């Protein structure tokens, strides 16, 4: 399946995630995760899905649990517990781009946009075409997993059962 990624907003020239400055503001919103994200986190942390997953009513029905208004994997120093393990979810690997919406036609189109007011713009290394290309690949994987999930949901299979089947 071909998935088109449309990048909205101003081009990012240089960027570094300066999470100490914004107190990891991107990690304060609900973060949807895919089945492959859950698998990777289980494998690399030894945790059980119930330790970190909430079931939601969204199209992608899994989100990272939150505590005190932030992701359970965010440490007090604003570092991510999953970063060094290379276990971060797809949508977190797409920072500083955020998913805006997905449109379905002959081929799905995912719209992404750089997060507003990120203090990391203009900091750090050049934001190269290779980096953007990797972000596009992540987005394509996300949409493919979303389509698979929709297939299960259309069959009336509950998110808990899908997780049991897939993990
Ligand atoms: S991408 Fe920008 S806004 Fe988001 S956590 Fe990193 S520095 Fe903060
Ligand atoms: S998994 Fe890590 S990067 Fe993603 S929202 Fe949680 S703390 Fe932030």
Instruction: Give domain limits for the chain.
Output: 4-156
pLDDT at 83: 98
Task: Tell me the pTM.
Answer: 0.97
pLDDT at 106: 87
Extended beta strands in the chain, E state? 4-7, 14-15, 53-55, 62-64, 66-67, 70-71, 97-103, 109-114, 121-126
> Which residue has the CA at smallest separation from atom 4 of ligand 1?
26
Q: How confident is the model at residue 28 (pLDDT cuts 50, 70, 90)?
A: very high
Is the shortest distance between the CB of 31 and ligand 2 below 6 Å? yes
pLDDT at 1: 85
Residue % of the chain over a pLDDT of 70: 100
């Amino acid at each position: 399946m071909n998935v088109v990624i449309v990048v909205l907003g101003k081009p990012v020239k240089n960027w570094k995630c300066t999470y100490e400055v914004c107190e990891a503001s991107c990690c304060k919103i609900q973060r949807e995760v895919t089945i492959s994200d859950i698998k990777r986190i289980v494998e690399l942390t030894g945790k059980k899905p119930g330790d970190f997953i909430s079931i939601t009513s969204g199209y992608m029905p899994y989100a990272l649990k939150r505590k005190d208004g932030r992701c359970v994997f965010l440490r007090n120093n604003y570092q991510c517990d999953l970063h060094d393990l290379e276990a971060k979810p797809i949508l977190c690997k797409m920072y500083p781009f955020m998913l805006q919406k997905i449109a379905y036609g002959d081929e799905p189109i995912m719209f992404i946009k750089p997060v507003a007011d990120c203090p990391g713009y203009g900091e750090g290394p050049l934001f190269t075409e290779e980096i953007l290309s990797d972000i596009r690949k992540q987005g394509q994987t996300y949409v493919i997993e979303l389509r698979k999930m929709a297939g299960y949901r259309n069959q009336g299979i509950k998110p808990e059962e899908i997780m049991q089947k897939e993990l």
